[in-house]
Amino acid sequence: MKTNPKPTPPRWAARLLQWYCPPHLVEEVQGDLQEEFYYQLEQYGLLRARLDYVRNVLGFIRPFSIKRRKSYSSNPFTMNMFNHHATVAFRNVIRQKTFSAINITGLALGMTCCLFIFLWVRDEKAVDNFHANGKRLYNIYQTTASNGNVTGNYSTPYALIYHSLTFNKRDEATAFSVEDIREVVPEVQNISSYATGYELPWGHSETFQAGDKIQKFDGSRARKDFFAMFSYPLIAGDAKSALHDISSISISRKMASFFFQSPQNAIGKSIRYENKIDFVVNAVFENISPQSSLTFDFLINWDSQMKQLEWASSVVLTTLEIDESANVSQVEMKLNRFLQSKRSKNDPEIVTVGLRPYGEKYLNSSFVNGRPQEGRMVYVRIFTGVAIFILIIACINFMNLATARSVKRAKEVGVRKVIGSSRFSLINQFFGESIFLSFFALIVSVLMIQILLPSFNGLTGKQIASPIAVPSYWIIVVCLTLLTGFVAGSYPALYLSSLKPVRILKGALRFTHAAIWFRKGLVCFQFALSIALLIATIVISNQTYYVQNKNLGYDRDNIIYITLEGELIPRYALFKERAMQMPGIVMVDRSSEAPHAMGFVVDENDGLKNTNTGDDAIQWEGKEKTASVGFKPASVGFDFINILNLKVAEGRSFSKSFATDSADAFMINEEAVKQMGMKDPVGKWVSAWAKKGHIIGILKDYHTNTLHEPIKPLIIDVKEYETFGVIMVRLEPGKTKEVLATLATLCHEINPNYPFAFQFLDQEYDKLYRNEKVITRLTNIFAVLGVAISCLGLLGLVMLAAEQRTKEIGIRKVLGATVANIVNLLSKEFVALVLVSFLIAAPISGYFMDRWLQGFAYKIELSWWIFGVAGVTALAIALLTISIQAFQSAIRNPVKSLRTE
């Protein structure tokens, strides 16, 4: 026994005991068991003692010996440390007021930005996703391939809408093949067709009359399943009977209140449409929420559209409700098979259809290779990225300041480590501090959101409600705070806690090269992001300015236009005559489409070389059978050229003094001449549909739509008696108000059943760039924020550098350094960093801006001065920030800085 080591109880049992036994009991129990073990050992020998020990350990697994006591913490030490850490963090915030302010401001700005973008993105994603059936709804999109071009849009091939009309020329109303789809594709449960009455190129607000009230509203036509498929709440009437026959109309609460005082009152009442058709109100729906991409104040039954109403555009949106268990790609296949059976075999175009979930239409509205892709989704992605970047910039501030300040905190870390703090506890402490700070920032940013939300809504054109009551908002807010705190605190926590106490306390703390490079890298990254944002904002603002102010080739100022409707159609000549006599009116003329946004193009997709049938709508002298040009046709009045100040390049413009001009004259633009390949075009014959005539003049190219679109071939002729289009009136500048009043009286007199409604041409043109404007404003704000936050961080770093080098500066001054020397000393390093970040940012942002500009047919050049301005601005702001602090420490009296030790 003496030579052997002292026998011990089985180790595993001892461990087991230690594991399950609560801290307040473990000592006595272990002690008792061990004492018993040695007692047993003496009395009965080792084996018995060990067995007994094990039995005892197992026997102790009882509620009383497992349960942790609640009265005081199982680990009182950490509890105290929590309070302690909170105190230390708070004291640090108070002591370093400037740095805390910089940190909190930066983080708060970053978080506000993030939260705003979160709200915006959430709102964008919510569009069209509120329908109860949402998951089963699919939109049909069509892909058209011809002549090597593949295009697509959310419309429905004509063969699916009314093949009987186009191919059999029988009764228009019979056998719409959309109805047949349900038989051929059993997975399809419901079908909705939807077309607006107000979309370009021919749509406009439509006039309604009930009693003596007349008003214009924007509305659409829809198949009778519409309300059953979509969750637009009905206030009066029910979904089944809402659109059941050709005379039925459903109207919004707004419209019902206007005409019939209350929604309930409106049911069963008759309402007159465009002074020619009477509809019966069958249902009243709640005003359309901003989260619906379809907007309408009334819905007319689809049969009306097919039989008696004008089409506003060629776009028909078909939505299918598909059985949940159905395989979408199989449905697509069946649809295509059905479609091809309905289409003419000789058609040179290849048209196919596809299905896309209904909720994706809004964000994926542009088509690449005939398939829906991107669209607004791009902006959602870009802004999400920007939000993250701005938050990163703010986090980097925090990291940099914390590490730079760590010389001071290092002593604290050293002492803590010597006293016995574990690394884990130090990491906890620093994470705790950064999360503490980010909660401060959170409070600030939640307040800012509340205050700034109305202006944010104004900026983005949204109606986002205050998110205070939304739980998901708070979840995001808290997650964001924790994440920010975590990211911001990660480097200080890991770095500071790794310091060796002996070295710190000896006072020999030097930053390693890696640490310094890391910090510089972070500053570079920060500034690179800011400069990239600056470049983006300059490019986008410039492009937006460019598109709004580019000379379009016509004069759009001081022109209003009125839709040609009602009595104005037969009495246009009278209107023109009377209006021309009124003071303040320079000229009156007409056009089949509003000139700023002409959308109708014929023959565009024809001309597949082998199958071209040669039956294009537009023909001309010397046209080869295979040639094909997409024309924008328009019928105008005699003064069209003059009213818009268009330039004639060759030949002459329309004139009443030539008797043949109203029947025989055509004008085309230079682009048309180029694409037609015509030499000496004036005098040659052209034809548009049934009308044949001669080219009398060539127009200089002008823009007939936004600058997203290249100038297209244009062909115009005179038709003073066309039954649709707009009347344009050129006003004398400065007399707009009086002239509008007299025009209103005139319209009421000539066209009493329609309200007088007009648009300013220049304003309508600007509206086409609404998206670009929002983007411009947002990027401006983000760029300013990014630069501001980066500079805050820079300011902090310079302050620290100056503080750490107080003595050095003092000695330099004593030895004769000038203020300029010292400012130079302090700023040199940072200026170099800004320069490096410029070198990183310029090519990257250049690449992305170039891609953005690809979306415009006419665009500014990405010239060097844009980058120059961005770089110089960033440098100047950085220098200014740095020199404020550098100057302050440079003019300090060296006596003061050297006195203290």
Select the residue interacting with other proteins from 10, 13, 16, 29 (CB under 8 A): 29
**Cα 640–chain centre separation:** 39
Which of 7, 20, 32, 872 contacts other proteins by CB under 8 A? 32
Nearest residue (CB) to other proteins, 36 versus 199: 36
Q: Would you count residue 22 as binding other proteins (CB under 8 A)?
A: no
Tell me which long-range contacts 385-390 makes (C-beta under 8 A, separation of at least 24): 386/113, 386/117, 386/533, 386/782, 387/113, 387/114, 387/117, 387/118, 388/114, 389/529, 389/533, 389/786, 390/109, 390/110, 390/113, 390/114, 390/529, 390/782, 390/785, 390/786, 390/789
Q: 56 or 445, CB closer to other proteins?
A: 56
The residues, any chain, with a CB within 8 Å of residue 8's CB and separated by 6 or more, are 14
67 versus 244: smaller Cβ distance to other proteins: 67
Question: Is residue 250 within 8 Å of residue 295, measured between CB atoms?
Answer: no
Residue whose CB is less far from other proteins, 28 or 808: 28
Query: Is residue 179 close enough to count as binding other proteins by CB under 8 A?
Result: no
Judged by CB under 8 A, does residue 19 bind other proteins? no
Nearest to 349 by CA among 148, 615, 633, 619: 148
Which one, 60 or 208, has the nearer CB to other proteins? 60
Among the listed residues 34, 352, 457, 611, the single contact to other proteins using CB under 8 A:
34
CB of 420 to other proteins, least distance (A): 21
Stretch that binds other proteins, among 24-32, 117-125, 588-596, 632-640 (CB under 8 A): 24-32
What phi and psi values does residue 143 have, to the nearest 5 degrees? -115, 125
Residue from 23, 31, 733, 752 binding other proteins (CB under 8 A): 31
**Cβ–Cβ under 8 Å, residues 299 and 250:** yes
Please, which residue, 69 or 213, has the CB nearer to other proteins?
A: 69
**What distance in Å separates the CA atoms of residue 117 and residue 414, rounded to the nearest whole number?**
42
Q: How far apart are CA 706 and CA 597, in angstroms?
A: 7
Q: What are phi and psi of 434, to 5 degrees?
A: -70, -35
What's the one-letter identity of residue 542? N
Query: Using CA atoms, how far apart are residues 714 and 697, in angstroms rounded to an integer?
Result: 12
Binding of other proteins at residue 15 (CB under 8 A)?
no
Segment near other proteins (CB under 8 A), from 28-36, 186-194, 552-560, 638-646?
A: 28-36
Binding to other proteins by residue 28, rule CB under 8 A? yes
Per CB under 8 A, 27 contacts other proteins:
yes
CB 388, min distance to other proteins, A: 56
Cα 576 to the chain's mean position, in Å? Answer: 45
Site for other proteins in 455-494 (CB under 8 A): none
Collapsing DSSP to helix, strand or coil, 498 comes out as coil
Q: Interacting stretch for other proteins, rule CB under 8 A, among 30-38, 320-328, 741-749, 758-766?
A: 30-38
Nearer to other proteins among residue 14 and residue 437 (C-beta): 14
Instruction: Identify the CA nearest to 111 among candidates 431, 552, 447.
Output: 447
Q: Does 674 bind other proteins (CB under 8 A)?
A: no
Part of the chain binding other proteins (CB under 8 A), chosen from 34-42, 199-207, 217-225, 250-258? 34-42
Short-list 203, 276, 309, 194, CA closest to 243? 194
For the record, the structure tokens of 829 come out as: 């390093």
> Residues 628, 603: contact at Cβ < 8 Å?
yes
* Residue 257: both structure tokens together: 């209140």
Residue 33 lies near other proteins (rule: CB under 8 A): yes
Q: How many residues bind other proteins (CB under 8 A)?
A: 19
28 vs 179 by CB, closer to other proteins = 28
Note the helical H segments in 144-247: 158-163, 177-184, 226-229
**Cβ count within 10 A of residue 646:** 21
96 touches other proteins (CB under 8 A): no
| DSSP secondary structure code for residue 71 in this structure | S
In this complex, which beta carbon is closest to other proteins, that of residue 17 or of residue 322? 17
Return the number of the residue (35 or 732) whose C-beta is nearest other proteins: 35
Residues 6+ apart with CB under 8 A from 807: 897, 898
Q: Any idea what DSSP says for residue 136?
A: G
55 versus 337: smaller Cβ distance to other proteins = 55
Distance of alpha carbon 286 from alpha carbon 85, whole angstroms: 55
Q: Residue 321: which of 229, 248, 388 has the closest Cα? A: 229
Q: Which stretch binds other proteins (CB under 8 A): 32-40, 337-345, 543-551, 688-696?
A: 32-40
- Least distance CB 21 / other proteins (angstroms): 11
Nearer to other proteins, 32 or 577 (CB): 32
In whole angstroms, the minimum distance from the beta carbon of 28 to other proteins comes to 4
Q: How far apart are CA 662 and CA 584, in angstroms?
A: 28
At closest approach, how far in Å is the CB of 108 from other proteins? 52
Interface segment toward other proteins; rule CB under 8 A; list 29-37, 474-482, 825-833, 892-900: 29-37
Please report how close the Cβ of residue 18 comes to other proteins at its closest, in angstroms. Answer: 12
Q: Which of 36, 347, 603, 664 binds other proteins (CB under 8 A)?
A: 36
Binding mask 699-738 for other proteins (x = CB under 8 A): ----------------------------------------
* Residue 508 near residue 852, CB atoms below 8 Å: no
- Per the CB < 8 A criterion, the answer to whether 550 and 708 are in contact is no
- Residue closer to other proteins by CB (options 11, 737) is 11
259 near other proteins, judged by CB under 8 A: no
Q: Is 883 exposed, middle or buried (0-12, 13-18, 19+ CB in 10 A)?
A: middle
Least Å from the CB of residue 29 to other proteins: 7
Taking the least distance from each CB to other proteins, the nearer of 41 and 449 is: 41
Instruction: Assess whether the previous peptide bond of 63 is cis (omega < 30° from 0).
Output: no
CB atoms under 10 Å from CB of 680, counted, come to 9
What is the contact mask toward other proteins in residues 37 to 76, using x (rule: CB under 8 A)? Answer: -xx---------------xx--xx-x-xx-----------
Measured from the CB atom, the residue of 35 and 238 that comes closer to other proteins is 35
Query: Least Å distance between CB 17 and other proteins?
Result: 11
Nearer Cβ to other proteins, position 22 or 584? 22
Name residues whose C-beta falls within 8 Å of residue 588's C-beta, 6 or more positions apart in sequence: 575, 576, 579, 580, 639, 643, 727, 728, 729, 730
Name which of 35 and 286 has its Cβ closer to other proteins. 35
Q: Does 35 bind other proteins (CB under 8 A)?
A: yes
Shortest distance, position 324 Cβ to other proteins, whole Å: 60
Taking the complex as a whole, how short is the minimal distance between the CB of residue 422 and other proteins, in angstroms? 24
- Smallest gap from Cβ 15 to other proteins, in A, equals 14
Residues of this chain that bind other proteins (CB under 8 A)? 27-36, 38-39, 55-56, 59-60, 62, 64-65
